[in-house]
Amino acid sequence: MRLRAWTVLSVVVLCMALGVSASAQQVHITVWNSLSTVGRLLFHEIIEEFEQEYPHIKVDSVYQSGYYEAMEKILVSYAGNVLPNLVMMEQSVAYALIDAGLAKSLTPFMEADPEIDIDDFFPAMRATMTVGDDMYGIPYNVSTPLLYYNKNLFRESGLPLEIPDGKENLLALARRLTRYSPDGAIDTYGFWLTRWRWLFEAWVGRSGTRIHNPERTEFTFNTPEVIETLRFAQSLVHEYRVAGYGSGAASGHTPFLQGRLGMMEYTTAGLISLITQAEENGIDMDVVPLPAFEEAYVPIGGAGFMMLDTGTEAEQQATWEFLKFINRPENQARFAVATGYMVSRRSALETDTWRNFIIDEPRAQVTYMQVNVAHPRPQLPFWDEIQQRLRDELSDVMYRDNGNFVPVLEEIVRYGNMKLAEWNASR
Protein backbone atom coordinates (compact mmCIF):
# COMPACT_ATOMS: atom_id res chain seq x y z
CA MET A 1 0.00 0.00 0.00
CA ARG A 2 2.80 2.37 0.93
CA LEU A 3 4.57 1.46 -2.31
CA ARG A 4 1.46 2.24 -4.34
CA ALA A 5 0.99 5.56 -2.55
CA TRP A 6 4.60 6.44 -3.16
CA THR A 7 4.21 5.55 -6.86
CA VAL A 8 1.16 7.80 -7.20
CA LEU A 9 2.97 10.63 -5.44
CA SER A 10 5.96 10.20 -7.72
CA VAL A 11 3.74 10.44 -10.80
CA VAL A 12 2.12 13.62 -9.47
CA VAL A 13 5.50 15.20 -8.77
CA LEU A 14 6.75 14.17 -12.21
CA CYS A 15 3.70 15.69 -13.91
CA MET A 16 4.18 18.90 -11.96
CA ALA A 17 7.80 19.00 -13.02
CA LEU A 18 6.86 18.44 -16.64
CA GLY A 19 4.26 21.19 -16.34
CA VAL A 20 6.85 23.62 -15.02
CA SER A 21 9.21 22.60 -17.81
CA ALA A 22 6.52 23.10 -20.46
CA SER A 23 5.61 26.46 -18.95
CA ALA A 24 9.24 27.52 -19.02
CA GLN A 25 9.29 26.79 -22.75
CA GLN A 26 6.45 29.20 -23.46
CA VAL A 27 7.49 31.90 -25.94
CA HIS A 28 5.90 35.34 -26.20
CA ILE A 29 6.26 37.47 -29.31
CA THR A 30 4.99 40.97 -30.00
CA VAL A 31 3.51 41.85 -33.38
CA TRP A 32 2.70 45.39 -34.50
CA ASN A 33 0.05 45.87 -37.18
CA SER A 34 -1.47 48.83 -38.99
CA LEU A 35 -4.56 47.08 -40.33
CA SER A 36 -7.98 48.62 -40.80
CA THR A 37 -10.90 47.33 -38.75
CA VAL A 38 -11.95 44.54 -41.13
CA GLY A 39 -8.40 43.34 -41.68
CA ARG A 40 -7.59 43.56 -37.99
CA LEU A 41 -10.57 41.41 -36.99
CA LEU A 42 -9.56 38.65 -39.39
CA PHE A 43 -5.92 38.98 -38.38
CA HIS A 44 -6.84 38.37 -34.74
CA GLU A 45 -8.92 35.38 -35.78
CA ILE A 46 -5.89 33.93 -37.57
CA ILE A 47 -3.76 34.61 -34.48
CA GLU A 48 -6.18 32.53 -32.39
CA GLU A 49 -5.89 29.69 -34.88
CA PHE A 50 -2.11 29.92 -34.74
CA GLU A 51 -2.07 29.75 -30.95
CA GLN A 52 -4.25 26.65 -31.06
CA GLU A 53 -1.81 24.96 -33.42
CA TYR A 54 1.25 26.28 -31.55
CA PRO A 55 0.10 26.39 -27.89
CA HIS A 56 3.61 27.17 -26.65
CA ILE A 57 3.67 30.49 -28.56
CA LYS A 58 1.72 33.51 -27.31
CA VAL A 59 1.23 36.35 -29.80
CA ASP A 60 0.64 39.85 -28.48
CA SER A 61 -0.85 41.87 -31.34
CA VAL A 62 -0.63 45.64 -30.99
CA TYR A 63 -2.31 48.12 -33.33
CA GLN A 64 0.10 50.92 -34.19
CA SER A 65 -2.12 53.26 -36.19
CA GLY A 66 -0.93 54.11 -39.72
CA TYR A 67 2.19 52.95 -41.55
CA TYR A 68 4.14 56.14 -41.00
CA GLU A 69 3.24 56.44 -37.32
CA ALA A 70 4.55 52.89 -36.85
CA MET A 71 7.95 53.94 -38.17
CA GLU A 72 8.19 56.74 -35.62
CA LYS A 73 7.23 54.37 -32.80
CA ILE A 74 9.86 51.85 -33.89
CA LEU A 75 12.57 54.47 -33.54
CA VAL A 76 11.32 55.29 -30.04
CA SER A 77 11.19 51.57 -29.17
CA TYR A 78 14.70 51.08 -30.47
CA ALA A 79 15.97 53.88 -28.25
CA GLY A 80 14.28 52.19 -25.29
CA ASN A 81 15.48 48.71 -26.30
CA VAL A 82 11.91 47.36 -26.48
CA LEU A 83 11.53 46.52 -30.16
CA PRO A 84 8.65 44.28 -31.27
CA ASN A 85 9.52 40.95 -32.88
CA LEU A 86 7.44 41.54 -35.99
CA VAL A 87 6.20 44.77 -37.49
CA MET A 88 4.01 45.71 -40.44
CA MET A 89 5.80 48.30 -42.57
CA GLU A 90 4.70 50.14 -45.69
CA GLN A 91 7.31 49.29 -48.26
CA SER A 92 8.33 52.86 -49.10
CA VAL A 93 9.54 53.30 -45.51
CA ALA A 94 10.54 49.69 -44.85
CA TYR A 95 13.91 50.24 -46.47
CA ALA A 96 14.80 52.69 -43.70
CA LEU A 97 14.68 49.78 -41.24
CA ILE A 98 16.87 47.66 -43.49
CA ASP A 99 19.31 50.50 -44.05
CA ALA A 100 19.54 51.08 -40.30
CA GLY A 101 20.31 47.40 -39.65
CA LEU A 102 17.15 46.85 -37.60
CA ALA A 103 15.57 44.24 -39.87
CA LYS A 104 16.55 40.58 -39.87
CA SER A 105 16.95 38.72 -43.15
CA LEU A 106 14.37 35.98 -43.69
CA THR A 107 16.42 34.24 -46.37
CA PRO A 108 18.20 31.85 -43.94
CA PHE A 109 14.82 30.84 -42.47
CA MET A 110 13.37 30.23 -45.93
CA GLU A 111 16.35 28.25 -47.15
CA ALA A 112 16.18 25.99 -44.09
CA ASP A 113 12.40 25.49 -44.23
CA PRO A 114 10.91 23.10 -46.81
CA GLU A 115 7.39 24.33 -46.06
CA ILE A 116 7.81 27.60 -47.93
CA ASP A 117 9.08 28.26 -51.44
CA ILE A 118 10.48 31.70 -52.15
CA ASP A 119 9.66 31.26 -55.85
CA ASP A 120 5.96 31.00 -54.96
CA PHE A 121 5.91 34.76 -54.36
CA PHE A 122 5.22 37.05 -57.31
CA PRO A 123 8.67 38.42 -58.29
CA ALA A 124 7.59 42.08 -58.22
CA MET A 125 6.07 41.69 -54.76
CA ARG A 126 9.06 39.77 -53.48
CA ALA A 127 11.25 42.62 -54.72
CA THR A 128 9.46 45.10 -52.45
CA MET A 129 11.09 43.44 -49.44
CA THR A 130 14.36 42.30 -51.02
CA VAL A 131 17.77 43.97 -50.98
CA GLY A 132 20.56 42.16 -52.75
CA ASP A 133 20.17 38.45 -52.02
CA ASP A 134 18.25 38.96 -48.79
CA MET A 135 14.49 39.06 -48.32
CA TYR A 136 13.67 41.10 -45.21
CA GLY A 137 9.92 40.71 -45.09
CA ILE A 138 6.92 38.96 -46.56
CA PRO A 139 4.46 41.12 -48.53
CA TYR A 140 1.12 40.79 -46.77
CA ASN A 141 -1.40 43.54 -47.52
CA VAL A 142 -0.26 44.41 -51.04
CA SER A 143 -2.05 46.58 -53.59
CA THR A 144 -1.86 48.23 -56.97
CA PRO A 145 -3.96 51.17 -58.21
CA LEU A 146 -6.94 50.49 -60.46
CA LEU A 147 -9.21 52.70 -62.51
CA TYR A 148 -12.71 52.68 -61.03
CA TYR A 149 -15.52 53.85 -63.29
CA ASN A 150 -19.27 54.44 -63.18
CA LYS A 151 -20.91 52.35 -65.88
CA ASN A 152 -24.18 54.27 -65.49
CA LEU A 153 -22.51 57.52 -66.54
CA PHE A 154 -20.76 55.80 -69.44
CA ARG A 155 -24.10 54.51 -70.75
CA GLU A 156 -25.81 57.87 -70.26
CA SER A 157 -22.96 59.54 -72.17
CA GLY A 158 -23.22 57.07 -75.05
CA LEU A 159 -19.80 55.58 -74.33
CA PRO A 160 -18.77 51.94 -74.71
CA LEU A 161 -17.92 50.18 -71.45
CA GLU A 162 -14.19 50.13 -72.03
CA ILE A 163 -11.19 52.28 -71.10
CA PRO A 164 -8.58 52.41 -73.88
CA ASP A 165 -4.94 53.25 -73.20
CA GLY A 166 -3.45 56.67 -73.92
CA LYS A 167 -3.70 60.15 -72.42
CA GLU A 168 -5.70 61.40 -75.38
CA ASN A 169 -8.32 58.70 -74.83
CA LEU A 170 -8.51 59.49 -71.13
CA LEU A 171 -9.15 63.14 -71.99
CA ALA A 172 -11.78 62.22 -74.58
CA LEU A 173 -13.65 60.05 -72.09
CA ALA A 174 -13.45 62.69 -69.36
CA ARG A 175 -14.85 65.35 -71.71
CA ARG A 176 -17.81 63.18 -72.64
CA LEU A 177 -18.53 62.37 -69.01
CA THR A 178 -18.25 65.91 -67.60
CA ARG A 179 -21.44 67.90 -67.13
CA TYR A 180 -21.83 71.55 -66.22
CA SER A 181 -24.56 73.41 -64.37
CA PRO A 182 -26.21 76.48 -65.96
CA ASP A 183 -23.76 78.81 -64.19
CA GLY A 184 -20.79 76.95 -65.69
CA ALA A 185 -19.75 75.08 -62.54
CA ILE A 186 -18.84 71.43 -62.89
CA ASP A 187 -21.74 69.27 -61.77
CA THR A 188 -20.37 65.86 -62.83
CA TYR A 189 -16.63 65.25 -63.12
CA GLY A 190 -15.11 63.04 -65.76
CA PHE A 191 -11.96 62.27 -63.78
CA TRP A 192 -10.43 62.87 -60.35
CA LEU A 193 -6.94 63.75 -59.15
CA THR A 194 -5.49 63.86 -55.64
CA ARG A 195 -2.41 65.27 -53.97
CA TRP A 196 0.60 63.30 -55.06
CA ARG A 197 1.85 60.35 -53.11
CA TRP A 198 2.18 56.83 -54.54
CA LEU A 199 0.17 57.71 -57.66
CA PHE A 200 2.94 60.14 -58.58
CA GLU A 201 5.05 57.05 -59.27
CA ALA A 202 2.29 55.69 -61.51
CA TRP A 203 2.20 58.86 -63.60
CA VAL A 204 6.00 59.09 -63.81
CA GLY A 205 6.28 55.42 -64.74
CA ARG A 206 3.60 55.67 -67.42
CA SER A 207 5.51 58.56 -68.98
CA GLY A 208 8.29 56.06 -69.70
CA THR A 209 10.54 57.42 -66.95
CA ARG A 210 11.54 56.14 -63.51
CA ILE A 211 11.83 57.92 -60.18
CA HIS A 212 15.61 57.41 -60.11
CA ASN A 213 18.32 55.77 -62.18
CA PRO A 214 19.19 52.09 -61.59
CA GLU A 215 22.30 53.00 -59.59
CA ARG A 216 20.26 55.18 -57.21
CA THR A 217 22.64 58.09 -57.73
CA GLU A 218 20.22 60.50 -59.41
CA PHE A 219 16.52 61.30 -59.34
CA THR A 220 15.02 61.42 -62.81
CA PHE A 221 11.42 62.54 -62.31
CA ASN A 222 12.09 65.92 -63.93
CA THR A 223 12.61 64.73 -67.51
CA PRO A 224 10.73 66.40 -70.38
CA GLU A 225 8.51 63.30 -70.58
CA VAL A 226 7.50 63.60 -66.94
CA ILE A 227 6.90 67.34 -67.22
CA GLU A 228 4.68 66.80 -70.26
CA THR A 229 2.68 64.14 -68.42
CA LEU A 230 2.26 66.35 -65.35
CA ARG A 231 1.14 69.25 -67.54
CA PHE A 232 -1.49 66.94 -68.98
CA ALA A 233 -2.74 66.15 -65.46
CA GLN A 234 -2.84 69.87 -64.63
CA SER A 235 -4.73 70.62 -67.84
CA LEU A 236 -7.48 68.17 -66.91
CA VAL A 237 -8.31 70.36 -63.90
CA HIS A 238 -7.79 73.84 -65.32
CA GLU A 239 -7.58 74.01 -69.11
CA TYR A 240 -10.17 71.37 -70.00
CA ARG A 241 -12.11 71.53 -66.70
CA VAL A 242 -12.99 67.85 -66.74
CA ALA A 243 -11.33 66.73 -63.49
CA GLY A 244 -11.87 67.40 -59.83
CA TYR A 245 -9.11 67.60 -57.26
CA GLY A 246 -8.99 66.61 -53.59
CA SER A 247 -6.37 66.42 -50.89
CA GLY A 248 -6.92 62.88 -49.65
CA ALA A 249 -6.47 59.60 -51.49
CA ALA A 250 -10.17 58.84 -50.98
CA SER A 251 -11.39 62.37 -51.74
CA GLY A 252 -13.08 61.20 -54.94
CA HIS A 253 -15.30 58.73 -53.13
CA THR A 254 -18.02 61.21 -52.23
CA PRO A 255 -18.73 62.47 -55.77
CA PHE A 256 -18.27 58.95 -57.13
CA LEU A 257 -20.87 57.47 -54.78
CA GLN A 258 -23.18 60.42 -55.50
CA GLY A 259 -23.09 59.53 -59.18
CA ARG A 260 -21.17 62.72 -59.98
CA LEU A 261 -17.82 61.23 -61.02
CA GLY A 262 -17.04 59.05 -64.00
CA MET A 263 -13.52 57.76 -63.31
CA MET A 264 -10.97 57.74 -60.50
CA GLU A 265 -7.66 56.04 -59.75
CA TYR A 266 -7.66 54.27 -56.41
CA THR A 267 -6.09 51.31 -54.67
CA THR A 268 -7.41 47.79 -55.06
CA ALA A 269 -7.38 47.68 -51.26
CA GLY A 270 -10.59 49.71 -51.38
CA LEU A 271 -12.35 47.42 -53.84
CA ILE A 272 -14.43 45.33 -51.44
CA SER A 273 -15.60 48.38 -49.50
CA LEU A 274 -16.42 50.36 -52.64
CA ILE A 275 -18.33 47.43 -54.15
CA THR A 276 -20.62 47.46 -51.12
CA GLN A 277 -20.98 51.24 -51.04
CA ALA A 278 -21.59 51.47 -54.79
CA GLU A 279 -24.38 48.89 -54.57
CA GLU A 280 -25.95 50.76 -51.66
CA ASN A 281 -25.95 53.97 -53.72
CA GLY A 282 -27.18 52.42 -56.96
CA ILE A 283 -23.84 52.86 -58.76
CA ASP A 284 -22.97 50.23 -61.37
CA MET A 285 -19.22 50.24 -60.74
CA ASP A 286 -16.47 48.39 -62.54
CA VAL A 287 -12.67 48.42 -62.50
CA VAL A 288 -9.95 48.03 -65.11
CA PRO A 289 -6.15 48.01 -64.99
CA LEU A 290 -4.59 51.46 -64.86
CA PRO A 291 -4.55 52.72 -68.48
CA ALA A 292 -1.10 52.87 -70.06
CA PHE A 293 0.31 56.14 -71.41
CA GLU A 294 3.72 55.76 -73.04
CA GLU A 295 3.91 52.42 -71.26
CA ALA A 296 1.99 50.37 -68.71
CA TYR A 297 3.26 50.86 -65.16
CA VAL A 298 1.81 50.51 -61.67
CA PRO A 299 3.55 50.93 -58.30
CA ILE A 300 3.06 48.27 -55.65
CA GLY A 301 1.52 49.75 -52.54
CA GLY A 302 0.71 48.35 -49.16
CA ALA A 303 2.93 46.70 -46.62
CA GLY A 304 4.66 43.57 -45.46
CA PHE A 305 5.63 42.01 -42.17
CA MET A 306 9.28 42.37 -41.19
CA MET A 307 11.13 40.49 -38.47
CA LEU A 308 13.29 42.83 -36.44
CA ASP A 309 16.74 41.82 -35.26
CA THR A 310 15.79 41.43 -31.62
CA GLY A 311 14.88 38.77 -29.08
CA THR A 312 16.22 35.32 -28.29
CA GLU A 313 16.76 32.56 -30.80
CA ALA A 314 13.56 30.91 -29.54
CA GLU A 315 11.62 34.15 -30.08
CA GLN A 316 13.01 34.54 -33.57
CA GLN A 317 12.05 30.98 -34.47
CA ALA A 318 8.58 31.52 -33.01
CA THR A 319 8.28 34.73 -35.02
CA TRP A 320 9.20 32.83 -38.17
CA GLU A 321 6.58 30.15 -37.45
CA PHE A 322 3.95 32.86 -37.00
CA LEU A 323 5.03 34.70 -40.13
CA LYS A 324 4.88 31.48 -42.09
CA PHE A 325 1.43 30.64 -40.68
CA ILE A 326 -0.27 33.92 -41.56
CA ASN A 327 1.16 33.63 -45.07
CA ARG A 328 -0.07 30.12 -45.77
CA PRO A 329 -1.87 30.19 -49.14
CA GLU A 330 -5.26 29.66 -47.50
CA ASN A 331 -4.71 32.45 -44.98
CA GLN A 332 -3.49 34.87 -47.64
CA ALA A 333 -6.60 34.07 -49.69
CA ARG A 334 -8.88 34.66 -46.70
CA PHE A 335 -7.28 38.03 -46.05
CA ALA A 336 -7.55 39.08 -49.71
CA VAL A 337 -11.22 38.09 -49.89
CA ALA A 338 -12.06 40.03 -46.74
CA THR A 339 -10.14 43.21 -47.52
CA GLY A 340 -9.47 43.60 -51.25
CA TYR A 341 -5.70 43.48 -50.79
CA MET A 342 -3.71 41.21 -53.07
CA VAL A 343 -2.12 37.89 -52.22
CA SER A 344 1.64 37.75 -52.71
CA ARG A 345 1.84 33.98 -53.26
CA ARG A 346 0.75 32.44 -56.55
CA SER A 347 -0.51 29.34 -54.76
CA ALA A 348 -3.04 31.44 -52.84
CA LEU A 349 -4.87 32.01 -56.13
CA GLU A 350 -5.28 28.24 -56.46
CA THR A 351 -7.14 27.80 -53.18
CA ASP A 352 -10.84 26.98 -53.14
CA THR A 353 -11.39 30.08 -51.02
CA TRP A 354 -10.11 32.33 -53.80
CA ARG A 355 -11.59 30.41 -56.71
CA ASN A 356 -15.05 30.37 -55.18
CA PHE A 357 -14.81 34.07 -54.40
CA ILE A 358 -13.99 35.21 -57.92
CA ILE A 359 -16.91 33.25 -59.34
CA ASP A 360 -19.18 35.72 -57.54
CA GLU A 361 -16.80 38.70 -57.68
CA PRO A 362 -14.71 38.67 -60.90
CA ARG A 363 -13.65 42.29 -60.34
CA ALA A 364 -11.24 41.01 -57.70
CA GLN A 365 -9.13 39.45 -60.46
CA VAL A 366 -8.46 42.71 -62.30
CA THR A 367 -5.53 43.83 -60.14
CA TYR A 368 -3.65 40.63 -61.07
CA MET A 369 -3.97 41.50 -64.76
CA GLN A 370 -1.30 44.17 -64.24
CA VAL A 371 1.05 42.27 -61.93
CA ASN A 372 3.57 41.89 -64.77
CA VAL A 373 3.89 45.69 -65.03
CA ALA A 374 3.97 46.24 -61.26
CA HIS A 375 7.09 47.73 -59.70
CA PRO A 376 8.41 48.17 -56.16
CA ARG A 377 8.46 51.67 -54.75
CA PRO A 378 11.83 53.46 -54.35
CA GLN A 379 14.11 51.69 -51.88
CA LEU A 380 15.58 54.73 -50.20
CA PRO A 381 15.55 55.52 -46.47
CA PHE A 382 14.44 59.10 -47.10
CA TRP A 383 11.89 58.56 -49.89
CA ASP A 384 9.00 59.39 -47.57
CA GLU A 385 10.50 62.85 -47.05
CA ILE A 386 10.67 63.39 -50.80
CA GLN A 387 7.14 62.23 -51.44
CA GLN A 388 5.86 64.49 -48.67
CA ARG A 389 7.36 67.44 -50.52
CA LEU A 390 5.71 66.25 -53.73
CA ARG A 391 2.40 66.03 -51.89
CA ASP A 392 2.62 69.36 -50.06
CA GLU A 393 4.47 71.55 -52.57
CA LEU A 394 4.04 70.20 -56.09
CA SER A 395 0.36 69.24 -55.80
CA ASP A 396 -0.82 72.65 -54.62
CA VAL A 397 1.06 74.55 -57.32
CA MET A 398 -0.32 72.25 -60.01
CA TYR A 399 -3.93 71.92 -58.94
CA ARG A 400 -4.85 74.59 -56.41
CA ASP A 401 -2.88 77.47 -57.92
CA ASN A 402 -2.64 76.39 -61.59
CA GLY A 403 0.90 77.71 -61.45
CA ASN A 404 4.21 76.96 -63.10
CA PHE A 405 5.17 73.79 -61.26
CA VAL A 406 8.48 73.13 -63.07
CA PRO A 407 10.67 75.22 -60.68
CA VAL A 408 9.10 73.40 -57.71
CA LEU A 409 9.74 70.03 -59.34
CA GLU A 410 13.34 70.97 -60.12
CA GLU A 411 13.93 72.10 -56.53
CA ILE A 412 12.60 68.82 -55.13
CA VAL A 413 14.86 66.90 -57.52
CA ARG A 414 17.84 69.07 -56.55
CA TYR A 415 17.20 68.46 -52.86
CA GLY A 416 16.66 64.75 -53.47
CA ASN A 417 19.93 64.45 -55.37
CA MET A 418 21.73 66.12 -52.48
CA LYS A 419 20.23 63.54 -50.11
CA LEU A 420 21.21 60.76 -52.50
CA ALA A 421 24.81 61.96 -52.59
CA GLU A 422 24.98 62.10 -48.79
CA TRP A 423 23.43 58.65 -48.46
CA ASN A 424 25.71 57.03 -51.03
CA ALA A 425 28.76 58.63 -49.41
CA SER A 426 27.80 57.15 -46.04
CA ARG A 427 27.34 53.58 -47.28
| pLDDT over 60 (residue 12) | no
Please give the C-alpha separations between residue 134 and each of 78, 137, 199, in angstroms, as whole numbers. Answer: 22, 9, 28
Helix (H, G, I), strand (E, B) or coil at 53: helix
pLDDT band at 176 (very low <50, low <70, confident <90, very high): very high
Rounded to whole angstroms, the Cα distance separating 20 from 252 reads: 58
pLDDT digits (tens, 9 = 90+) for 220-260: 999 999 999 999 999 999 999 999 999 999 999 999 999 99
Share of the chain above pLDDT 70, in %: 94
Q: Which contiguous run of DSSP H or E holds residue 16? A: helix 2-24
- Residue pLDDT, tens place only, 292-339: 999 999 999 999 999 999 999 999 999 999 999 999 999 999 999 999
Q: How confident is the model at residue 266 (pLDDT cuts 50, 70, 90)?
A: very high
What pLDDT does 156 receive? 98
- Give the Cα separation of 342 and 48 in Å (integer): 23
Over range 64-89, report the average pLDDT. 81
Tell me the pLDDT of the chain averaged across its residues: 93
pLDDT classification of 74: cutoffs 50, 70, 90:
confident
27-33/57-63 β-pairing:
parallel
Paired residues of 27 in beta bridges: 57
CB atoms within 10 A of CB 28: 12
Fold agreement (28-143+301-375, 145-299+382-426): yes
What is d(CA 30, CA 40) in angstroms, rounded to the nearest whole number? 15
CATH architecture of the domain covering 145-299+382-426:
3-Layer(aba) Sandwich (3.40)
pLDDT beyond 90 at 69: no
pLDDT of 81 reads: 76
**How many whole angstroms separate alpha carbon 97 and alpha carbon 307?**
10
| Mean pLDDT comparison of 1-5, 91-95, 369-373, highest-scoring range | 369-373
pLDDT value at position 91?
A: 84
* Each residue's pLDDT tens digit, 192-219: 999 999 999 999 999 999 999 999 999 9
Q: How far apart, in Å, do the first and last CA atoms of the chain sit?
A: 77
CATH 3.40.190.10 fits 28-143+301-375, yes or no: yes
Q: How confident is the model at residue 75 (pLDDT cuts 50, 70, 90)?
A: confident
* Spatial distance between the Cα atoms of 13 and 354, rounded to a whole number of angstroms: 51
* Beta bridge pairs of residue 19: none
Strand (E) or helix (H) holding 193: strand 191-194
Q: What is the mean pLDDT of residues 110-132?
A: 94
Helix (H, G, I), strand (E, B) or coil at 342: strand
**Where do the structural domains in the chain lie, given as residue ranges?**
28-143+301-375, 145-299+382-426
Convert the pLDDT of each residue in 16-59 to its tens digit: 444 434 444 899 999 999 998 889 999 999 999 999 999 999 99
C-alpha span between 96 and 26 (Å, rounded): 32
If we measure between CA atoms, which residue out of 237, 354, 325, 408 comes closest to residue 54?
325
Select from 298, 271, 265 the least CA-distant residue to 124.
Answer: 298
Kindly indicate the confidence band of residue 72, based on its pLDDT and cuts at 50, 70 and 90: confident
User: Exposed, middle or buried, 133 (CB in 10 Å: 0-12/13-18/19+)?
Assistant: exposed
Question: For residues 425 and 67, which has the higher predicted lDDT (pLDDT)?
Answer: 425
**Angle at the Cα of 72 from the Cα atoms of 70 and 75, rounded to 5 degrees:** 110
pTM of the model: 0.91
Q: Tell me how far the alpha carbon of residue 102 is from its chain's centroid.
A: 21
Return the pLDDT at 76. 81
Q: What per-residue confidence (pLDDT) applies to 250?
A: 94
Confidence of residue 73 (pLDDT cuts 50, 70, 90): confident
Question: What is the spatial distance between Cα 270 and Cα 366, in angstroms, rounded to a whole number?
Answer: 13
Give 348's contacts (C-beta < 8 A, 6+ positions apart).
329, 330, 332, 333, 336, 354
* Segment holding 149, helix H or strand E: strand 145-150
Is 110:121 a contact under the CB 8 Å cutoff?
Answer: no
Number of residues that make up the chain: 427
- How many CB atoms sit inside 10 A of residue 100's CB? 12
